[in-house]
Amino acid sequence: MGGNLFYLRGWSITLVAGLLALLSQKDSLKLFPFLMLSAVIIIFWIYDGYFLSLERKYRRLYDKVRELPENKIDFSMEVEEFSKYKDCSLFYCVLSKTLAPFYIFLLGATIYLILIRS
């Protein structure tokens, strides 16, 4: 799952940089491109938070199973029972200290570049 997070951040930077490069060819940037870029960043941010949430749930499942006796293990990969924990919620993961600074910086840089161009 950690690889997915890495690739997702790479794709988000690539798409934002590509869209900014394409939009810089125009005479002036308007509101629509800004909203489009912001939507792309926010969608990737939520998707990244989802993967982090899922990773934390599987980590809790692993911790639960490793403490069970061998005859009690049922090999279930169901992680919904761990959704009740605060640190496994999507909202908490989206605002985690590993994701929020990255995407806030990306949004801030996008806003800054668009304001400079207009």
Identity at 46, one-letter amino acid code: I
pTM of the full predicted structure?
0.79
Could you report the per-residue pLDDT of 16-59, keeping only the tens digit for each?
888 777 777 665 556 677 788 888 899 999 999 999 999 999 98
Q: Which residue has the higher pLDDT, 25 or 103?
A: 103
pLDDT at residue 30, as a whole number: 66
Residue 2's pLDDT band, with cuts at 50, 70 and 90, is low
CB atoms within 10 A of CB 12: 20
The structure tokens 């801030």 sit at 108
